[in-house]
Every structure is written in C-alpha cells, then in structure tokens.
Amino acid sequence: MNDDDQTTLDATLASAAAAAASLRDVHPAIRADGLRAVAAELEAEAPALLELAERETGLTRPRVTAELARTAVQLRLFADVAQAGAYMDARIDDPDPNFVLGTRPALRRCLVPLGVVLNFAASNFPFAFSVAGGDTAAALAAGNAVVVKAHEGHPMLARATASITRGALHRAGLPEGTLSIIEGREAGVSALEDPRVDAASFTGSTAGGLHLAAVAAGRPRPIPFFGELGSVNPVFVTPARARLPLDDLAAGYMASVSGSAGQLCTKPGFLFIPRGTDIARAISALPPVAEHRLLTAAIASGYRTRRDILRTVPGARSVLEGSVTENAGHLWATPTILMTDLSTLIERRDTLLDEAFGPLSIVVEYDVNDASRLAQVAAELFPGNLTGSIHIARDDDESLVRELHSTLGRVSGRVIVNGWPTGVVVTPAMHHGGPFPSTTVDATSVGTAAIHRFLRAVAHQDTPDWMLPPALQDANPWGIPRSYSHAGESIGWGSGGPA
Amino acid sequence: MNDDDQTTLDATLASAAAAAASLRDVHPAIRADGLRAVAAELEAEAPALLELAERETGLTRPRVTAELARTAVQLRLFADVAQAGAYMDARIDDPDPNFVLGTRPALRRCLVPLGVVLNFAASNFPFAFSVAGGDTAAALAAGNAVVVKAHEGHPMLARATASITRGALHRAGLPEGTLSIIEGREAGVSALEDPRVDAASFTGSTAGGLHLAAVAAGRPRPIPFFGELGSVNPVFVTPARARLPLDDLAAGYMASVSGSAGQLCTKPGFLFIPRGTDIARAISALPPVAEHRLLTAAIASGYRTRRDILRTVPGARSVLEGSVTENAGHLWATPTILMTDLSTLIERRDTLLDEAFGPLSIVVEYDVNDASRLAQVAAELFPGNLTGSIHIARDDDESLVRELHSTLGRVSGRVIVNGWPTGVVVTPAMHHGGPFPSTTVDATSVGTAAIHRFLRAVAHQDTPDWMLPPALQDANPWGIPRSYSHAGESIGWGSGGPA
C-alpha cells in the first residue's frame, strides 16, 4: 500500500475502534433498530442495488432479488436476537455462605462483544455474504464494530451498500465507525495484522482462507479467524432409492449443481449411485441449462483449468459436456457432469477430490455390493464438509442407512435426507459450518447461532451494582433473560464422605 | 518413544476412539451416573489419595483435602449439567410452507461431542486440573472419551486416580476406553498429532502451551487447543482505598500471594498502590508465612531463576526478602515481595512483566496524580489475563473507577472488586479464561460453561424421526429442553418493499 492508502486504513481502524468502545454500552434495542433500519433502507434502494449486483456479478435478477430479500430478513432476524438478549447467556450466582465448598462470592457473567470484527466479503453472495450480509449482521448484533474488506468482484455494489448501511446505522443512533469498508487485498491483510482488530470472518477459497488464518494466528496477539473454506458436499444415493424412478433425482441434482452456475459453497460436487442405474440417461434427458456468467475473472479461470484437468482424468467420462465460452470479456458456462467409478475416485483422489467451483459435478458409480463401504468412503474421502446428503427409500437396508447417515453427521455440519444441500435457510436451527477444512473453526456463519462467534465472556465478582454492565445489574435495565444460581442450591453436590 | 511405548499409545488411542464412537449414543443420565460414581469413589479412597498427593506435590493436607472436595463437587455439578441437557442447545425449526423466503425445510440442530479429547494435566492442582479434574469432567459430561496426559509431578497419584476413575465409569456402564492416561512428554505430543484426537486442553506454562498449540494447529487436520497459559493478575488499589487502614489489604494480598506457595494461575503478581502509603510496613508487620515446598524440580528451578533476576532489577527493592532453600531433594520457599514504581515498571517491562510462578509478587507504587493513567497502564501492560482486581472505597473518583474497571473487563476474564483472584469457585457464572495469552482460546476451563469447549453442532434437514439422534427425536427420549421455531413466525421479518 502507498502512504495514502495506509493513512486511510489507519483512520478507518481508529474510527472502528472508537465505535467499538462506545458500542459496548449501547442498549441492544438501539442496535436492533440499526439493523432493522439497514434492512429497510436496502429494500428501499433495491432497484439500484439489484442493477449493480446483476451487472457486477453476472448473477441473474431473480437470484440477486431473492438474495437481497434474504439479507433483509437476516438483518431483522439478528435484530430480534440482539434485542431479546438471550445470546448474552447472563448468569447470576448469588453469594452463598452455605456453599458446599465454603463461602461463595457474588458472581455475574455475561457475553460481551469482542470489539472490532474484520469481515472478508465473498464473491458469490454480493448481498448475503458481503457488506451487510450475515457475518456483518451477526457481529453488529453482538455489539461489535465491523470493518468489511469488500470483494473486488463487486466494488460498486459494495460501496453503495456500505453507504446505505452507514447512513442507516448513523440515523439509528449508532456511532460513526460502526461499519466501514476497506478495499484491496493488501489493505485486508494489513487490517488483519492490526492490533485494533479483534476477530475476523471469511468466506472464500481454501487457499485464501488458510493464508489469512495463518496471518491471524501469527500475530503477536492471535485472534479468532472464522473461515468458511471449500466444501464438496457429497450426495449418496442408496441402492433402494436407485431402483426407483430417477427423473426427479436427476432434476434435483442438476438444479443444485447449476444454480448460480454452481458457484455456491454447498454445491453437490459428487453424487454416488449404484452402477447400472440410468442416471446418465436421466441427466441427459433434462432440458438444457442456459449459459451463466461466472463471477470473476479469477473464478472463471480457476474453473476452466479445473474442468480441463478433470475431463482428462483416465477413467472419467462426460455425461454432459458443458461449455465454457468467452463473451464480452466474461466467461460463460453451462454445466459439465462427469462420471467415474469408486475405484477410480479412490485411486485418483489427489486429482479428483478438490472442489471445482462452478457448474461441474462428478457422478461416482459404486458396485451395489460395495454399498456397505459407503460410510467408510464418506469418512475417508470427505472428512470435512459443510454438508452431506443421503437419498433413501423404504426398502433400504436400515443398518446401511444408519451407518452412512451417522458418518455424515461426523464429517459434515449439516446432513440432508432426500434433498439437496444448496438453499441454506436463515433460521435458528441452521448450521453452516463443518469439520476442517470446510471451516477453520467449526462454527456456523448462517442462522442465529452465528452470533456466538463474535462474543467473549467476562465474570464480575463481588461488584457493586453501579459498576456492573447493564446486562448484569439488579434492575436488569436491558430486560434480558438471565439464569440464577440461588444460595443453598449446592448442598446436594457435597458428600458425607471423608473429604 | 520406543516401539513398546508407541504400541501402548496406539492401543490407548484406539480404545479411546472406539469409546467415543459408542459414547455418542449413551443416554446422558448414564454419563451423569458415571461422573457421580467417580466422585463417590474418589471420596471413598480419599485417605490414600490425599497421602499420595501430599507426598508427590508438597501441597499441604488441608489444601489437597479441599481440592479433592472441590473435584468431587465439580464432577457432580457436571453430572447435573449432562443430565439436564440444556448444554446441547437443541433447536427445532418446524417446516414452514409460509416462510418469508419460501418453503422452509424441517431443520433440527444440537451440539454433539467432538470425539476424543486429550487433556494435559497441570502440576499445581493434582486433583482439580488433573486426571479427574475439570477438563475431564467437562469433556466426559459432553459425551467425549478422554485421554489424560498425566503430569510427571504426581505420577502415582495420576495412576491411582485413573484406576479409580476407570473402574467407576466402567461399573456405571460406560465403555472401556472412556478414560485413559498416558505418560511422558513425547507420548503427549505424539497423541496431540494423532488423527484420532479431536481436541485438546492444557493448563500450564506459556512456553509449553504455545508449543503444543502450534502442534495442534500444524496437523493436517488442525484441532481446537484450549490452553490456559500464564497470567499475572494485576490488582489496583485506588487512592481513596489507600487512605483507609491497610492491614486487611496487606493480609489479603499476602494470603493470595502465598497460598499454595503462589503456585496458582490466579496469584496476584502485581499490586498497584499510591506512593506514600504504608503498605511495606503493613506487609512486614504480618506474621511470617511458613516455608512451603515447591511442586516440581522444574518449577522450583524456574522460580529461583526468576526471583534472582527480579531481585537485581535496578529500581526494585525487597519488602520481604523471602527464602528459597533446599531440603531433602526439594526446594522450599517463603514469600518474596518486591517493590518498584510505575516508571521503572514501564521502563523495564521486558524483564518485570513475565509471570513468576511461585510466592513472589511486586508492589508497584504510582504517583497519586497518575491515578487517571491506571486504565491505560492496565490496557498496555496487562492485555491478556485471567483476572484483574480493583480495591475501591467510598471516596473514589467515580470516573476513575469506572474507566479502570471497564478496562479490566476488556483485558481479563474475571474482574474482582475488593477481593482477591485466588480461590476460583466452580459455579455456573465462573469464567476462568481471558484474552491471549492467558488462554489460547478465550473460553472458560472452570464452571459449567467449560462444557462448551468440547462440543460441535450438527444440523439435520428433513430427516425421518428414526434417523435423528435422540436429542432431536419427536418423543424427546432424553427429556432435554429444546427451543422451537414454529411455522408462520417469520412473517414479520419480510417487508412490503420492492425486494
């Protein structure tokens, strides 16, 4: 970075740190109002934002429209979470002269914001995982200031969103510096190294995420780095399911592979199905999928290279050839479906298993006699994924299904039955995370539980009421739920024994 | 390690992994029974255990007696936590055809055990942070198998405790391999590198902890490493408090510094007090503290070296000379209290600020006109501690107290008012953790919240009831509390706007 850029970054981080200091004491209802105001103002500016999003990302109008709606819902959901305050997990231990181990002091504990959260925006969700997306909503709901490293794939949309978001937050009474954006990889790394930053979140490639995770861990004061990296989301079709008609299955598979040109972290990269089914015919019989622009030059070139490699692997053949064509400075693609068998997959795992980010997926045929090996295959070949899916039918071998399903629950964060992994709903029970390397820390970045990434606990011992944070004061001025341990409750924990 | 040791370690880890696989489905009430049985059997064997503990560690009989009682209480507390099941944070989203963003699938999410937890035992709590201590209790309560790397400071006690614990767990119906111990540093590192281990906890020195943290992070599959490292626990006495009689303050300080020969992670390493108070006299007037054996040869030698360095720092003088003497192969110590001033502390921070593990503490005099700088001192010199304390009085400058107290809440995990940091109670509201480097991940290792370190979330989408884990089945066979999102509740999250 040149001196000017460094000065700008420094001012941004100073402003974020100052905002974080005053946000700690802001009533959660004010934070909630801010989030709701952002939602409303984004919706009010939708025509211009959608136009920008479509132009900069190549995503379709229906897709970005739905994504903006999701983003607004997400902001309102986190507003509710902030205001309800249960996320603070406030706990109050009354002082207890009869505590089983001697006098117990007055202890009060709650979760507090970390300070400044640096959020690396993703390319593939210009609203939902970008400036005002889920990570930002969760971090703001928790009471942090947020600095977003804008993605270079949609700079104008990022700036427009930031401007709207900052304005809405400011009008809602939140401090200057509550949200800001920075641009450029160098600024992103520099911010990640800065002592004023307390945590970071990231959605993107495995290589990029691991690099940034190492930066976060290598600081004099390491900070939590919540990276969502690659995932190939295997789907397993059981023998009994494969004996039923395959048309719906093929259609669901293709929709999940080709939606948003496959540029989704939950795109099914592998479909396991018994040899001898007519899946190739069922896929080929589907109506052709229209060409879709790829998000960025880097993604397009990565996809083309990866596709070329996969198409020449001995033992892999094309079911759908697909296309990658250049037009007006962009790459456009139609889905490519390859087919191979389990032994080739195992033999050539080093080549075949990496994520192909784009509309490509691999059908893997297994011998029906090998069905009992599928759980082991899932454990060994797919040890860390966001999702795992299983398509079952009434006539299945129950123990096979149980074992495979239970294995998928160990190696992935969300297990889907008779459905597809794309289309991540924003709800309390969502988990969008998984064992390494799908995430660097197995925590969710979607759904209300995502707020827990951006909090830490503080306990206050024997503290006069006026010195306590509002969440822990006797009068409970924030009106949050709190759990109590009353004096005398510990009697049963002791024993009459010699100790 | 030689081949035999490697074979033994391999068998231990294989057994732990097998236990972890079956523990996942064990009813929490059985796990709770197991924990309670361990508590009862440890109490039943108290005479022999206490004898061993006293002999191997040099801790006094009253101290190890209290610690064993605490350990039993801790096991029973975690038994209650396991059985109640609230820790699973079970969440059920009903399917919702009217969800604001389109049809919502059925989603059910709960926290599940990580698998095998490796717990590096501490030297200074031969019961409470050792084989059947808090980390073990929390990890078992969460449903994990536990491998404890025994501390070489109390090998016979570790073996005896392991034998009792294994027997109790086995008789309670828990699988072979639910708890095991390994011995030796090499075995510990080897286990930490082993793919069958899913998380680790550690209580010990900063250097040792950082080394192990790097091993955990450097694995092909990095795992969470919950290290509790060093802490110097600064205590600040305000000007108004310093004007009141100091006898109680001096007595409390000395008790906190010298208890267990200062070999506690919460020992106050620094006491800030205005220049001109009679604290030196008040300390000198206290009855002398008896000699106390130091825990291990390594700790003793580290303490002697550190004390020698500190005593020769220009600008530091002795208030209490203290002693370090050799007797029957052990080092014995009485408390050493040094005194310096704030400017010397700042100037010689590289030498003075490191933890002195043992009965040594430094009184730091500040100019009463510098009182308003104390918050900044706390932030800059003590950025990551388990605790921070403040002694106040009625006549204090309120803004000074507020600022210092609030700063201590940012740089430490527990803030104590008019009390001392040692004596960590095991309760729901305890937080025993803090910003780096006091812990590698700011999570508590004491109190019921400690269970959250050893869990991960899994979401189940559109899953038939019979395939769900018990915690999420319709009939709720484990009888745990669950939160529900009912269909139709999302209506308010949408908008009438253009999106």
Pairing of strands A323-327, A455-461: unpaired
Determine the Cα–Cα distance for residues B214 and B200; give it in Å rounded to an integer.
12
Pairing of strands A482-485, A90-93: parallel
- Taking the CA of residue B267 and the nearest CA in chain A, the distance in Å comes to 16
pLDDT band at A496 (very low <50, low <70, confident <90, very high): very low
Query: Higher model confidence: residue A92 or residue B2?
Result: A92
Interchain CB distance below 8 Å, A46 and B417: no
Q: What is the pLDDT of residue A495?
A: 65
Pairing of strands B317-320, B323-327: unpaired
Determine the Cα–Cα distance for residues B58 and B40; give it in Å rounded to an integer.
25
Q: What is the pLDDT of residue B131?
A: 98
- Taking the CA of residue A484 and the nearest CA in chain B, the distance in Å comes to 9
pLDDT digit string, tens, across residues B139-176: 999 999 999 999 999 999 999 999 999 999 999 999 99
Using a CB-CB cut-off of 8 Å, the residues of chain B touching A405 are 463, 467
Extract the tokens encoding A353: 């298993």
Q: What is the pLDDT of residue A359?
A: 98
Interchain CB distance below 8 Å, A499 and B65: yes
Using a CB-CB cut-off of 8 Å, the residues of chain A touching B442 are 456-457
Extract the tokens encoding A226: 């919540």
Amino acid at B211: H
- B371-375 average pLDDT score: 97
Q: What is the pLDDT of residue B499?
A: 33
* Interface predicted TM-score (ipTM) of this complex, two decimals: 0.96
Determine the Cα–Cα distance for residues B255 and B63; give it in Å rounded to an integer.
13
Using a CB-CB cut-off of 8 Å, the residues of chain A touching B472 are none
Is A309's pLDDT higher than 80? yes
Annotated active-site positions of A, please? Answer: 228, 265
Interchain CB distance below 8 Å, B461 and A44: no
Q: What is the pLDDT of residue B88?
A: 98
Which one of B69, B431, B440 has the shortest CB-CB distance to A459? Answer: B431
- A446-469 average pLDDT score: 97
B110: annotated active-site residue: no
The active-site residue, picked from B56, B67, B110, B265, is: B265
- In degrees, rounded to 5, the angle at the alpha carbon of residue B132 between the alpha carbons of residues B128 and B133 is 30
Determine the Cα–Cα distance for residues B390 and B84; give it in Å rounded to an integer.
36
Percent of chain B beyond pLDDT 70? 99
Extract the tokens encoding A365: 């045929």
Pairing of strands B317-320, B336-341: antiparallel
For A430, which DSSP code? Answer: -
For chains A and B, count residue pairs whose Cβ atoms are closer than 8 Å.
Answer: 249
- A384-393 average pLDDT score: 98
Quote the radius of gyration of chain A (alpha carbons, Å): 25
The active-site residue, picked from B67, B228, B355, B365, is: B228
**How many C-beta atoms surround the C-beta of residue A484 within 10 A?**
12
Determine the Cα–Cα distance for residues B162 and B181; give it in Å rounded to an integer.
7
The region, left, alpha or beta by phi > 0 then psi within -120 to 50, assigned to residue B102 is: left
Q: What is the pLDDT of residue B488?
A: 87
- Taking the CA of residue B326 and the nearest CA in chain A, the distance in Å comes to 31
The residue of chain A nearest to residue B93, with distances taken between CA atoms, is A429
- B412-440 average pLDDT score: 96
Determine the Cα–Cα distance for residues B312 and A130; give it in Å rounded to an integer.
56
Interchain CB distance below 8 Å, A498 and B47: yes
Using a CB-CB cut-off of 8 Å, the residues of chain A touching B225 are none
For A337, the 3-state DSSP assignment is strand
Which one of A77, A405, A414 has the shortest CB-CB distance to B493? Answer: A77
Using a CB-CB cut-off of 8 Å, the residues of chain A touching B419 are 105, 461-462
Buried b (16+ CB within 10 A) or exposed e, B300-337: bebbbebbeebeebeebeebbebebeeeeeebbbbbbb
Q: What is the pLDDT of residue B425?
A: 92
For A312, the 3-state DSSP assignment is coil
pLDDT digit string, tens, across residues A84-138: 999 999 999 999 998 988 889 999 999 999 999 999 999 999 999 999 999 999 9
The answer to whether A419 and B460 have CB atoms below 8 angstroms apart is no
Phi then psi dihedrals of residue B122, to 5 deg? -95, 160
pLDDT band at B495 (very low <50, low <70, confident <90, very high): low
pLDDT digit string, tens, across residues A143-185: 999 999 999 999 999 999 999 999 999 999 999 999 999 999 9
Is B497's pLDDT higher than 50? no
Interchain CB distance below 8 Å, A498 and B77: no
Q: What is the pLDDT of residue B493?
A: 76
- Taking the CA of residue A80 and the nearest CA in chain B, the distance in Å comes to 9
Interchain CB distance below 8 Å, B442 and A425: no
Q: What is the DSSP string of A121-161?
A: --SS-TTTTSTTSHHHHHHHHTT-EEEEE--TTSHHHHHHH
Interchain CB distance below 8 Å, A409 and B112: yes
For A390, the 3-state DSSP assignment is strand
Determine the Cα–Cα distance for residues B71 and A117; give it in Å rounded to an integer.
38
Percent of chain B beyond pLDDT 90? 95
For A276, the 3-state DSSP assignment is coil
Q: What is the pLDDT of residue B494?
A: 75
Name beta bridge partners: B287.
none
**Axis crossing angle, helix A28-44 with helix A134-141, rounded to the nearest 10:** 150
The answer to whether A10 and A182 have CB atoms below 8 angstroms apart is no
Is B203's pLDDT higher than 50? yes
Interchain CB distance below 8 Å, A109 and B217: no
> Which of A256, A353, A427 should we substitute to test contact with B (largest number of B Cβ atoms within 10 Å)?
A427
Q: What is the pLDDT of residue B496?
A: 45
Burial class of B124 by CB neighbour count within 10 A (0 to 12, 13 to 18, 19+): buried
Determine the Cα–Cα distance for residues A428 and B427; give it in Å rounded to an integer.
28
The answer to whether A455 and A226 have CB atoms below 8 angstroms apart is no
The answer to whether A359 and A333 have CB atoms below 8 angstroms apart is yes
Interchain CB distance below 8 Å, A43 and B498: yes
Is B31's pLDDT higher than 80? yes
- List all residues 6 or more positions away from B123 whose beta carbon is below 8 Å from its beta carbon: B57, B151, B153, B154, B204, B263, B295, B296, B299
Phi then psi dihedrals of residue A139, to 5 deg? -70, -40
Q: What is the DSSP string of A165-227?
A: HHHHHHHTTPPTTSEEEE-SHHHHHHHHH-TT--EEEEES-HHHHHHHHHHHHHSSS---EEE
pLDDT digit string, tens, across residues A323-369: 999 998 899 999 999 999 999 999 999 999 999 999 999 999 999 99
Residue in this structure with the two tokens 């972290």, named with its chain if needed: A265
pLDDT band at A494 (very low <50, low <70, confident <90, very high): confident
The residue of chain A nearest to residue B219, with distances taken between CA atoms, is A436
Interchain CB distance below 8 Å, B89 and A493: no
